Amino acid sequence: MTAAAIILALVTLQRLAELVIARRNTKALLARGAYEASPGHYPLIVAVHALWLATLWWLAPGKAVTWPLIAVFVLLQLGRVWILATLGRRWTTRIIVVPGERLVARGPFRLVRHPNYLVVAGEIAVLPLVFGLWQVALVFSLANAAVLAIRIRAEEKALAGAVPSA
């Protein structure tokens, strides 16, 4: 197995594990009286991420690995872990609003409003570059930016109507 295949396998396993966590957290939040806001764009997010990973599986195996960029990707993963740890059971891949709960304002959220989207944007750009696939980085970064424009607008609208101000 090549280094590229091992890296892609690890990223794929990470994403699948995150989907399990997100599904569990979503179910628990909904059971507590939460609701999902703007679910219509969610399939688009899933499609962009699935196509990104599938494209990497198609093009990257057998490519040389740029190890300094792997270091950047690992730093992004540390940011992802920080975000998940900060949100705990509130982390999900959907826009889930628990009426009356305040926004999380600790961890990376004290520094940036949407740290997870910054990490994801970095991942989508950096991982293809690890394999010298700048075209993949460009195409999927643009697609992700378009999806995030929809997502952030929907999330801000949902949170503005449901979260008490600090």
The arithmetic mean of pLDDT across residues 23-48, rounded, is 97
CB 152 within 8 A of CB 71: no
* Cβ-contact 119, 3 below 8 angstroms: no
Backbone angles phi, psi at 63, to 5 degrees: -80, 155
Average pLDDT over residues 38-43: 96
**114: DSSP letter:** -
User: Given a cut of 90, is residue 63 above it in pLDDT?
Assistant: yes
Average pLDDT, the chain: 95
Looking at the DSSP bridge assignments, the partners of residue 97 are: 35
Of the given ranges (66-70, 88-92, 102-106), which has the lowest mean pLDDT?
A: 102-106
Flag whether pLDDT at 115 surpasses 80. yes
Q: Give 36's strand partners.
A: 96
Q: What was the pLDDT predicted at 162? A: 66
**What pLDDT does residue 166 have?**
46
Copy the structure tokens of residue 163. Answer: 């979260």
